[in-house]
Amino acid sequence: MVYERIAKDIAKIAEEKKAKDIVLLNLKEISVITDYFVICTGESFSHMRAIAQEIEKRLKEEGVSLLNSGDFMDSRWILLDFGGVIAHIFSEEARQFYQLERLWADAKRVD
């Protein structure tokens, strides 16, 4: 249940930072990688980076550590690994290209 709360916190932070098309996927029953994906889109790399930095900052304040470094930031896709929750912040083009929601179509969407 703690991972669901973290995932919802990430989605809320992304929404506050004006991310677009936020999707929360529950992968618990179909993946050993993680329990949740939070997927969203930024309008530019600066916007994507601002979303990522705010998520990292606010979760750190809650005692949730980022497991990967900033090495996963590029202009198309920023990945933030919090263990049981992975946040994906995409450019519009990368999101259309990788189509994670389609790849993980068996996952349950969380409101």
Which of 52, 105, 103 is closest to 81 using CA atoms?
Answer: 52
Report the number of distinct structural domains present in the chain. Answer: 1
CATH number of the domain within which 84 lies = 3.30.460.10
pTM of the predicted structure, to 2 decimals = 0.94
Which of 49, 51, 48, 50 is closest to 91 using CA atoms?
Answer: 48
Give pLDDT tens digits along the chain (111 positions): 799 999 999 999 999 999 999 999 999 999 999 999 999 999 999 999 999 999 999 999 999 999 987 666 688 999 999 999 999 999 999 999 999 999 999 999 998
Neighbours of 102 (CB within 10 A): 7
For residue 57, what are the domain limits?
2-109
β-strands 108-109, 20-26 pairing: antiparallel
